[in-house]
Amino acid sequence: MIELSKVWKQYTSRGLITALLDINLRVERGEMVSIVGPSGSGKSTLLNVTGGLTRATMGEVRLDGEPLGSLNDAELTRVRRDKIGFIFQFFNLLPSLNALENVALPLQLRGWPKKKTQERAAKLLEMVQLGRRLDFLPDELSGGEKQRVAIARALAVEPPILLADEPTGNLDSATGAEILALIGELQQRLGATVLIVTHDSTVAEKCPRKLTLKDARIVQDERR
């Protein structure tokens, strides 16, 4: 499902900075993988390159057999829209939209009729145990509830790939454990391939596979 071959990512701001150095990685369909390492090791860059949010400087990235490097911007947008669900540390919910509207937004962007988007969004919010919060604005929700809305939104189009960047980073330990359990449950139910960037060792150890990055390289690949 995910394949990176000899991938480099470099920036030229204030000199040459290498964020990823000769990354080779293969993730099979349905795997749940954590990505750990010190700050600045390249974890988020690896996630962004994998998800097509930024392009690799060198090397090849393939998602479900599709080479991202050969796609134009419009084609890359299509891949992100149809194949990838993103979960961010800071939720990225639109403050003027309620929970139902935030989850329905990706479906509206695909041209779904309003009634169908609302039915699908309501079903997803029920799945993440927010069936009674459909009309709540983000400011009216707790941190854990906001993250549940973000997860429901990420799953709106049933993407085969789920990329999560510090999904429990802004939550207390108990709520973080609930969110991780929810991601694991949904991953098993939907068969999605999941990559989770985290600083939390508890989160990392719950995943069947753990990648460790240091100085822009993968230095360890553990499977349980």
Domains contained in the chain, CATH given: 2-223 (3.40.50.300)
Give me the mean pLDDT over the 160-167 stretch.
90
Q: Let me know how long the chain is.
A: 224
- Predicted structure pTM score: 0.87
Please name the residues in contact with 42: beta carbons below 8 A apart, sequence gap of 6 or more: 9, 19, 20, 21, 213, 216, 217
pLDDT score of 139 = 95
Give me the mean pLDDT over the 140-149 stretch.
92
Give the C-alpha separation, 190 to 166, whole Å: 21
Q: Does pLDDT of 10 surpass 90?
A: yes
* Cβ atoms of residues 44 and 20 within 8 Å: no
Taking only the tens place, the pLDDT of each residue in 53-106 is 999 999 999 998 889 999 999 999 989 988 898 988 788 899 999 999 999 998
Taking only the tens place, the pLDDT of each residue in 12-33 is 877 889 999 999 999 999 999 9
